Structure 1
Amino acid sequence: MNIKKNIAVTILTTSFLISGISNPIGYNVSAFRPIEVNASSIKTSDNNKYLLNIQNSYSTKTSKDKYEIVKSSGASKDKKNTKDAKDTKDVKDTKALTAIKENTEKKNDSKENKNSKDSKETNETKDTTDNKINKDISYSDKGDEFENGKKIEIGDIKVVNLKGTWREMGRQYGYLMKKELEDLDTFLDLIIEANEGNASTARAIVDQQIAQTPYRINQFFEGASETSGFTVDELQIINAVERIGGLPKCSVAMAWDKYAKSDLVIGRNYDWSESFALLKDDIAVTVYHPADGALATATVGYVGEIYAVNGLNEKGIFLELNNGKPSANIKSPDPRITGTTMLFECLFESDELSDMDLFFNTTNCSSSYIINVADENKGQSFEWCPVGVKHGESTLPNGLLVSTNYYVNKDWLFNTPSDKNSWSGITRRNNLIELCENNKGKIDAEKMMEIINKTVEEGGAKNDLTVYQLVVVPKTKILWLQITGGSEWTKIDVDSFFKS
């Protein structure tokens, strides 16, 4: 299927209570020494031309056959499949890109001409100021509607507003986001095809995810299957794209008090494996309006992801997820609902920042993360892994929080991280700290855009793996989104969607 230029913002309404997920556990942390992650230092270059080339390399063939391979692989729970599930984390992006390049010859002339025109128009509209806000989006803009759902599309940015029960919101999402879901379908086809022999691994991951999916989200997929043309199983495969496709490498900076010009502001670089550059046009901001009275919540992520790696709710509570495996490369010894799903739940139920402490003190996770949270007054960092949780923000002066991909709390007994095993995480963090110190008292949304847009070579954190960037002001509930190789900074009035 041909790739369309699609970024989505989705809004849904629902409650999301999960009982029985609790209790800090008494494992001996020293027994869980991390396995060093092989990761080379990140370097940044002008890769826009490369991204434009691979963007057009998707095959027009359907991925249904590949789904059949994944389905037929089964999900036996023997030791082999357990090993397969572990090995999937090391998906070879280079193989995926090779397969993609081989498909380049299949693109037709009309698509080449269209992309050439799109590229020309983008260059013509680009302002000399890197941080130009080239468009605004609010709920009052015109859009497509289905039942109680609405999708607003401006350029390559889409905002989808969903209302009702989980099944009703799923129906709205499936109908309004059908083409974008097809894009993810094609991407997964290429990823699985490029990694022959890993179909059973992917199947094991999906089956594990299905077993851990709460009832309400299953209802969402049931609804989406009624209108999207995809089965529930296929939607679950799409929902697992990040687990099948690699590991994230991200960074965040938060400034308030003496560091901020006025309101607390957050800057976030979302970095992923190289092949995920193909999905730069399929990113969604999803806002949930729960019919049962839970808090309206917006998430930002790939289309088809029904969980939270970035989120902001109607009370101005924000959270974002960074990979913490360079410090604690361990997994839960027991089956647990995935951390991203639990973060999703947390946003629906947290009306003040103190609720975050309660959540992390109560909830064990399935893997190792760094979760950075904020309200309009301050930011906090939770180093969250299967053996416990610790705060990480106290290592910096009040008013500043900077996090990449390693734990900074010295009480952990894990191995000391390095640039080599944290995707240059130490350098990226130090660069952001220095930039924030140099701009102390001046940091607002525009200045934060400038800070997180600086490359590693320029003394910043942006790199070749940066897929998209966010700037968020929790007080006003406004976020700005920029897509690498795509949309420039776009202002999205999330509050207008919350109030719709």
Structure 2
Amino acid sequence: MGSKSRKIHRRRMGQFDADTSIPRKMEFHKLLIKGRKKALKYLRAFRVFIFFVLLLQIGTLPGCKIYSAFDSVLNPEWENFEQLPSGNPRLEYIHSIPVIHLYGTPAEMGTQYGTILKKQLEGLEYISTRFFPKKKINEFIHTAIEVEKHLPDEILEFLSKMAETSGVDYYKLLAVNTVPRVTCSALAVWDDATEDGNLLMGRNADYTFKRINKALGLIVVKHPENGYATVSSSFLGLAGAYTGMNEKGVSYGNMLVYNGFEDGETAGGVPVQLLMQSAAETKNSAREMIEYLTSQNHVVPVSVMCADSNEAILAELGKTNFAVREGNKGVLAASNYFYSSGMFETPETDKRFSALMLKARDHYGAFNPGHLKDAMHAARKQNETLQTVLFEPAKMLMHVSMNKVPASKGPFTTFNILELLEK
């Protein structure tokens, strides 16, 4: 090759090198932008920190009180924590998740709850007054008073003692337990659908007010004087349970429904989370629990999925009627819409419901807990999934991710229900 050819060859090689450097420069530019965004995020967090420090130094502004309230609720090591022996009412931590154990009658358990979590409940009460206008709080309380007339005595005893020992206004606690609205989704697979035939059930808990709720999740273990012990994935201040498992392996979770016939709330109904707690303490199968729930009056249209080691069943609960859906070839899913004939005003197609069904189809016959995690993550609600719970009733296991968004991403903490109930 002559000198001229070598020069041309070198020039072409140099041009090729220059061209391939463009993607590298673009990647470097993206990294700079990403780093700048992260730096701004940390700077904003630092400014917030300085703001709160200044509030503390001043000591007289309302911000000091709300900072203290947030500190009480958000502090990962709640100050009332004590490592007490098994068999005692107590708060303990399992992989950073707070777990409260309650024992005895409803009144005794309410007393224990209010005493152990007094500071956190006080903080929650104050925060709620800062997040909601007084008019809205009064509306919540008015609704709660109407519902109160129809609540079971054991729930009223629990709440009154919680209020008495915590010092939090009874009617505000009542509102917390009767007004909350949740938008969730659930999936159950079993028999031929799973790799070993064992039933798996998952539930996402989606909440709009994540600024408050994302730090309030806890596990509540109730050891009642009469009835079955229960383990629920709950929120601070709740007497009932949106999702949980009892000592018989009956697992449950509810979903608010948007396309029912009835609008508004029904006088004479009982909030479903309170009914589920009562059912969990008295029913030893999914079918028994469904039969109980379909015999009750409900405040708003909801769906409830119940499962045990043998089957999963879904109750679509209107305020004046109901329908029961059972699995098709070992698959059952639900989100925020009724699907049974005669239960809905308009049919709806929901992408979260579709995501659950597609995951069940894709892994049919080999479905395992890992696939269930993937399915619940695929069905998450953007910026709202604060708790994800996976159940294995035959093994008495409950896998929980909470107090983060999206919780469906994990990591999950595994609770052995039988071991937890022995404590």
Which of 336, 339, 350 is the aligned partner of 1:405?
336
TM-score norm. by structure 2 comes to 0.75
Give the direction of change, closer, same or farther, for the CA distance of 1:221–1:203 in structure 2 (3 Å limit).
closer
Q: Please, which of 347, 350, 365 is the counterpart of residue 441 of structure 1? A: 365
| Residue 300 (structure 1) shift | 1.6
Measure, in 2, the Cα distance between the counterparts of 1:470 and 1:154: 15
* Contact 2:252/2:306 (<8 A) preserved: yes
Residues 116-158 of structure 1, C-alpha deviations (whole Å, 9 max, x = no match):
xx9xxxxxxxxxxxxxxxxxxxxxxx83479931221145311
Pick 1 or 2: higher relative contact order, CA cutoff 8 A, min separation 6. 1
How large is the Cα RMSD of the aligned pairs?
3.4
Instruction: Kindly indicate whether residue 305 of structure 2 is the aligned counterpart of residue 381 of structure 1.
Output: no
Output the CA distance in 2 between the equivalents of 1:341 and 1:438. Answer: 36
Matches of 1:182 and 1:321, distance apart in 2: 28
Residues 1:473 and 2:413 are matched in the alignment:
no
Change (3 A) 1:452 1:207: same
Instruction: Report the counterpart of residue 153 of structure 1 in structure 2.
Output: 93
The answer as to 2:263 corresponding to 1:330 is yes
Change (3 A) 1:59 1:385: farther
Which amino acid in 2 is paired with 1:440? Y
Find the partner of 1:289 among 220, 223, 226.
223
**How far is the alpha carbon of 1:499 from its aligned partner?**
3.1
Shift of 1:182: 3.0
Which SS does the other structure have where 2:356 is aligned? Answer: helix
Aligned residue number for residue 305 of structure 2: 372
TM-score by length of 1: 0.64
**SS of aligned partner of 1:414:** coil
Cα distance in 1 for residues equivalent to 2:264 and 2:325: 20
Contact kept in structure 1, 2:339 and 2:347, CA below 8 Å:
no
> Do 1:145 and 1:176's aligned partners in 2 also have CA atoms closer than 8 Å?
no
Unmatched runs of 5 consecutive residues or more in structure 1: 1-45, 62-101, 119-141, 419-425, 455-459
Q: Determine the structure 2 residue equivalent to 1:491.
A: 414
Q: Taking structure 1 as reference, are residues 332 and 202 closer, same or farther at Cα in structure 2, changes over 3 Å only?
A: closer
Aligned pair in 2 of structure 1 residues 475, 409: CA closer, same or farther (>3 Å)? same
Indicate the residue corresponding to 1:169 in structure 2. Answer: 109
1:449-492: CA deviation from partner (whole Å, max 9, x where unpaired)? 122123xxxxx444221111111111222111112248731112
Whether the 8 Å contact between 1:184 and 1:238 is mirrored in structure 2 is no
Q: Which residue of 1 aligns with 2:191?
A: 257
Q: Which residue of 2 aligns with 1:27?
A: none
Whichever residue aligns with residue 285 of structure 2, its letter is: E
Gaps of 5+ in 2: 1-36, 56-61, 77-81
Matched position secondary structure for 1:261: coil
Deviation at residue 350 of structure 1 after TM alignment: 0.6
- Give yes or no for contact 2:302–2:317 (8 Å, CA) kept in 1: yes
Determine the C-alpha separation between the residues in 2 that align with 1:364 and 1:490.
35
- Aligned CA distance change for structure 1 residues 357 and 226 (closer, same or farther; 3 Å): closer
Residues 406-459 of structure 1: per-residue CA shift (max 9 Å, x gap)? 1111243522235xxxxxxx11111111111111222222321122123xxxxx
Larger Rg: 2
1:430 aligned onto 2:349: no
Q: Are the structure 2 counterparts of residues 493 and 182 from structure 1 closer, same or farther at C-alpha, using a change threshold of 3 Å?
A: farther
Distance 1:461 1:447 in 2: 14
Q: 1:248 aligns with which of 182, 198, 201?
A: 182
1:318 equivalenced with 2:242 (yes/no): no
Greater percentage in helix: 2
Q: Distance in 2 between matches of 1:59 and 1:239?
A: 31
How many residue pairs match? The answer is: 360
Aligned partner (choices 151, 158, 165) of residue 213 of structure 1 = 151
Contact 1:166 1:220 in 2 (8 A): yes
Q: Distance in 2 between matches of 1:488 and 1:346?
A: 30
What's the counterpart of residue 180 of structure 1?
Answer: 120
Q: 1:213 to 1:169 in 2, by over 3 A?
A: same
- What CA distance in whole angstroms lies between the structure 1 residues aligned with 2:52 and 2:346? 43
